[in-house]
Amino acid sequence: MSRIGKKSVELVNGVSASVSGQTIEVKGPKGTRSFTATDDVTITVDGDAVSVTPRGSSKRARQQWGMTRSMIANLVQGVTEGFKKELEISGVGYRATMQGNVLKLALGYSHDVNFAIPDGVTITAPKQTEIVIEGVDQQLVGQVAANIREWRAPEPYKGKGIRYKGEYIFRKEGKKK
């Protein structure tokens, strides 16, 4: 029995869900999101709750049971609260600024890095050393944050680079004479 799959997903006020076949569509104050489940599970909407049950007892059906329930919970959270990733920039001369729909990063290269913001995500730079990424799609928010971090990942000697807020960077000792 899946401990996650057994729980139903509660729909808060202002959120509605509709199922057509294996596709569930969730509408909320921040937008509309949909997810198509595999044929191994059955999705039902009972008033203000969405429940997922497996079709059969195969290993794949049990795997899809918990995963589908988690995906639906993420849809509900995305259309109500949204998802947020925060990045910190550390290093001399490293900074981020917004110019229209482009994030401009100065990361020690001979040129500035221009990062075009994809649809469905909003990026703000409240300080020159902070980047905040927000959106309704958890996967997209995380991927955009990873793409920005990829330009200058934190290095272990001085800790310079772009890191997630609160991320611990394992530091190494430098050369000794």
CA distance 39 to 35: 13
Q: Within this chain, do residues 38 and 90 fall inside the same structural domain, yes or no?
A: no
Q: Sign of dihedral through CA atoms 116, 121, 125, 129?
A: negative
Of 80, 96, 111, which marks where a domain is finished?
A: 80
Q: What is the pLDDT of residues 44-70, one digit of tens each?
A: 998 899 999 999 889 999 889 999 999
79, 26 in Cβ contact below 8 A? Answer: yes
For the cut 80, the answer to whether the pLDDT of residue 2 exceeds it is no
For residue 28, the one-letter residue type is: G
Q: What is the pLDDT of residues 96-128, one digit of tens each?
A: 999 999 999 999 999 999 999 999 999 999 999
Q: Within this chain, do residues 156 and 94 fall inside the same structural domain, yes or no?
A: yes
**pLDDT value of position 1:** 63
Q: What is the pLDDT of residues 17-27, one digit of tens each?
A: 999 999 999 99
Q: Within this chain, do residues 103 and 158 fall inside the same structural domain, yes or no?
A: yes
Residue 89 pairs in a beta bridge with: 162
**How many structural domains is the chain composed of?**
2
pTM value is 0.86
104, 97 in Cβ contact below 8 A? Answer: yes
For residue 43, the one-letter residue type is: I
DSSP 4-44: HHHSPEEPPTT-EEEEETTEEEEEETTEEEEEE--TTEEEE
CATH of the domain at 156: 3.90.930.12
Of 51, 80, 109, which marks where a domain is finished?
A: 80
Of 42, 57, 80, which marks where a domain is finished?
A: 80
Q: Which domain holds residue 10?
A: 3-80
